[in-house]
Amino acid sequence: MTLLHKNSLVFVFEAHGNHAEVDIEFARLRHRFDIHFSPSFLEDGSIDCATGGVLVFSLKSHFVGWLADVENLVDGRCCRFNAYRMFDGVLQNYFAFGAHNHLYTAPEVRLVEADLMHCLDEARSDPQNNTVILCGDLNLHSANEPPMSLDLPARTRATNTPLVPNVSNSRPHQRIWENIFSKMFEIKMGKHTHVNIANLTLGKIDRVFCSTPPSGLLNLRNSAGVSADPMDLYVKGISDHSAGFWSICPPPKKPNIQPRIRPQWAKHPVFKKHCKDLLSGLDFQGCSCQEHLESLKLVFREAADKTRNYMLSSQDKSSDSVLVQLSTIARCVWSGDRRVANLAKSSMLLGPVHLAPGNGRPCLLDPIAFEQEFASAKKSHLAKERECVHRFFGIFPET
């Protein structure tokens, strides 16, 4: 459920049940997800609940403005999700194939290959408006990532790879699948996704492929991985596979929030003087209320910056000014920030006192003296804050 609510599109393979059971089990999710179930069928046409099928969940809020449909290419084995829209007169397509490579007949695998190749042709002809994703339990190991044996000690496994030979053409229709893989770019999961108890191996057979080359994803944040260790899930009787994921999104925008004006700055005489000087040169006649407000914000911000610089560079010995300077010095030494250290030495009163001269890595001249002064400044600041709290609640020390 955690992965379900964090991703736009989720494929679940070997989902055991029928349509009625799926409707009952996921009724509470219908308001958030479009749910499609593709079951497997027996020879007599009845649903094969034991074998399982494919479940597709698409998050409605992530496809607003898009039309979407799901087509069963192979019942219970392969589905194609297609989201499309018109944007500036151009048709945009997002194709996602979820496949479980197991017990395909020759006509079925040829059908999947033809559909995939058609979508890949569209993606190659117009990669900006067409994207193809292939994911699922593909039951094929990568040539350079063979299965890892579990019946050897960890040290032996770490120093002897590959441990299990990756035999080519060991599965039906492997050449067809590998031909499809060669036309796409694989998204590496990093960890093993499947445990095979029959031969005691861990493998990476749950894979993700994309038609977009890595150069097309440079400006996006993407991460891929595995939700849990497959051996842990097998021991708990849940599954011999672990869920894999690939997340891709634009980088988050940093909020443009200016630092708050500290009360100590606003109460300083320098702040009042700069505000008076700046306001005397402004004419608010004819300004709207919004323009008036924005102008006052600029005045207060400019006055606060001037006051802060004055307090840090002058002979101001107030507890707030000393604490800010000492905190800045400690932070630049801890992080090794040469730029901040040079600014502290050139513009702060206490910078040259505690920071070693030179342009190398910032370091303290006397760490013990610095710690003692820092402790004294903190004690003085906390005493002042305690006095303000007591005064606010009318608590006065006994005399």
Per-residue pLDDT of the chain (399 residues; tens, 9 = 90+): 667 777 899 999 998 888 898 999 999 999 999 999 999 988 888 888 777 899 999 999 999 999 999 999 999 999 999 999 999 899 999 999 999 998 899 999 999 999 999 999 999 999 989 999 999 999 999 888 888 888 765 544 444 444 455 444 467 889 999 999 999 999 998 889 999 988 889 999 999 999 998 878 777 888 899 988 999 999 998 899 999 999 888 877 766 666 678 787 788 888 889 898 888 888 878 788 888 888 888 889 888 888 877 777 766 667 777 888 888 888 888 888 888 888 888 888 888 888 888 777 888 888 888 888 888 888 888 888 888 888 878 776 654
Q: Can you give the pLDDT at residue 312?
A: 72
User: What pTM was computed for the model?
Assistant: 0.62
Classify burial at 123, counting beta carbons within 10 Å of its beta carbon; exposed 0-12, middle 13-18, buried 19 or more.
buried
Contact 39, 75 (CB under 8 A): yes
Q: Where are the domains of the chain?
A: 2-249, 266-314, 316-399
Helices and strands: H and E segment counts in the chain = 13, 14
How far, in Å, CA of 187 to CA of 247, rounded?
11
pLDDT digits (tens, 9 = 90+) for 117-168: 999 999 999 998 999 999 999 999 988 888 888 876 554 444 444 445 544 4
What stretches of the chain adopt beta strand conformation (E)? 9-15, 33-38, 53-59, 67-74, 78-87, 90-100, 130-137, 148-149, 185-187, 194-196, 201-203, 206-210, 221-226, 244-249
Q: Can you give the pLDDT at residue 398?
A: 57
pLDDT digits (tens, 9 = 90+) for 4-54: 777 899 999 998 888 898 999 999 999 999 999 999 988 888 888 777 899
> Residue 166 half-sphere exposure, CB side, CA atoms within 13 Å?
17
Contact 144, 166 (CB under 8 A): no
- CA Rg value for the chain: 32
Helix (H) or strand (E) holding 232: helix 230-235
CA 72 to chain centre: 31
CATH entry, 2-249, from 3.40.190.80, 3.40.50.720, 3.40.50.150, 3.60.10.10: 3.60.10.10
Q: Can you give the pLDDT at residue 315?
A: 60
Helix axes 319-335, 289-313, angle to 10 degrees: 80
- As beta bridge partners, residue 241 has 194
Taking every pair of Cα atoms in the chain, the longest distance, rounded to a whole number of angstroms, is 97
Contact 127, 211 (CB under 8 A): yes
